[in-house]
Amino acid sequence: MTATNGFIIGDGSWNLQIYVSDLQVERTLRVKGDLHIGGVMLRLVEDLDIAMDWSDHALWWPNRNSWLTRTRSTLDQYGVQADAKLQFTRMHKTARIQLPDLRYVDMRVDFSIKTFNAVIQICKELNIRHPEELSLSKPLEPYHLKHNMKEMQYNGGQTPSADTNSFAINNHSPSGSTGSLDMTSSPFICAPLKHHSTPISSPVSQNGTWKKGYSKPEMNGNVTSLEMLNGSLDTSLANSPLSLNQEVRNKVLKPKSLVEKARMNVAWLDSSLSIMEQGVREYDLLKLRFKFYSFYDLNPRLDSVRINQIYEQAKWSLLSGEIDCTEEEALMFAALQVQINLKASVPQPLMETSGGDDDIDAALSDLQITLEGFQPQSNVNNLTHAPELSDYLRFLK
């Protein structure tokens, strides 16, 4: 056997094609199946010979729609063969997040971790406690509410792929299973799925309006970024604007029937999969919403942003008809809104006691609650606390 580039022909080595998204170049490496993923990335960086920070990069397999994040696993363990084409791309990408008050924020989101962990990171930057109450969803159009997603895929001539939010039943399974949990089936893709013709980290997105490296987003329709807030993030998100852009208001979906309300749930991302694995690409729009309406430990001193976003989502859900309510409930909600706005415009009287004493008294009251197990009537710090009886019991044999 003759040697070629240090490898002997017939030794089990083969060529692996890797596309570097930042440089928009393609490299071919001679590898073996027992080479681990970390070694592949190391050899790729050495072959590029460019001095830059590659710590935020990872390998993405488009055909399998999955990240190769386990650096100690080998190519054979991942099933990578000579016909595979990988991409070396960034894990943190820019995404436009729509908050519950319908404002937009451009944020850096980790596309390689599970959606649940990505929501935790987003809420940490937005200073929203208890991120397990929120989740991300894809934006829907009015025509998405008229048909089931599988029916739309069949009518469009596309091959329907297994997803975790499908309403249709797979008739090929005798037990009625959709096959979404079968590892041998096609990758999970939550609808609606955008088919991107541009590669990852392309300078131009589908609509051609978002530019890569665009440092100043357009301020049309309450669009901002974390850098533009200059440290006033809590104050900005705790007070939503009274009026929104008409274009943003027109995009609010208004379901007409119970079936259309049920179809709106198809937009939720799967919390156990990464954002990238669910068809979302850089510069795409995602909606941050409260998914579970069981709010825990609401504290006005710590949750000003969270309480305001809960209120704004409830308001727009009532106006769009997403939540059913009686006329009396809607009037009560509107009356509370007017009362809050009137009180907010009136200056509050200054307390004569010092703030330090108030903090000490509040800490002592919280300590008393913890030790004695009851809620004093003079101190109501927790809006969701329910009074309860507690005592010690002795069990004797």
DSSP 43-62: HHHHHHT--S--TTEEEEET
- The confidence score (pLDDT) of residue 205 equals 38
pTM of the model: 0.71
Least confident interval from 29-43, 298-312, 355-369, 372-386:
372-386
Q: What secondary structure does DSSP assign to 76-130, as a single string?
A: HHHT--TT-EEEEEESEEEEEEE-TTS-EEEEEEESSSBHHHHHHHHHHHHT-S-
Residues of the chain with CATH 3.10.20.90: 13-90, 91-155+243-344
Identify the residue with better confidence: 91 or 343.
91
* pLDDT surpasses 70 at 220: no
Overall average pLDDT of the 208-223 stretch: 40
- Tell the residue number behind the tokens 């198809």, with chain if given: 266
Average pLDDT of the segment spanning 313-321: 91
Q: Could you tell me which residues come within 8 angstroms of residue 244 by beta carbon, excluding any fewer than 6 positions away? A: 102, 103, 221, 222
Q: Is 124 exposed, middle or buried (0-12, 13-18, 19+ CB in 10 A)?
A: exposed
> How far is the C-alpha of 276 from the C-alpha of 66, rounded, in Å?
8
For residue 184, give the amino acid letter: T
Q: Name the architecture of domain 13-90.
A: Roll (3.10)
* Residue 103 burial by Cβ neighbours in a 10 Å radius (0-12, 13-18, 19+): buried
Q: Which residue did the predictor score with more confidence, 217 or 69?
A: 69
SS3 246: helix
Which class for 357: exposed (0-12), middle (13-18), buried (19 or more C-beta within 10 A)? exposed
Q: Compute how many other C-beta atoms are within 10 angstroms of the C-beta atom of residue 40.
A: 22
What's domain 91-155+243-344's architecture?
Answer: Roll (3.10)
Residue 171 burial (CB count, 10 A): 7
Average pLDDT over residues 142-166: 61
pLDDT above 70 covers a percentage of the chain that reads: 69
pLDDT in tens, 115-149: 999 999 999 999 999 999 999 999 999 888 888 87
Q: Which residue has the tokens 């009537």?
A: 377
**SS3 state at 39:** helix
Q: How distant is the alpha carbon of residue 227 from its chain centre?
A: 20
Reported as a pLDDT band with limits 50, 70 and 90, residue 169 is very low
Contact 126, 290 (CB under 8 A): no
Taking residues 201-210, report their average pLDDT.
37
d(CA 64, CA 229): 39
Tokens of 394: 């002795």
How many Cβ atoms sit within 10 Å of the Cβ of residue 29?
A: 18
Model confidence at 43, in pLDDT bands (50, 70, 90)? Answer: very high
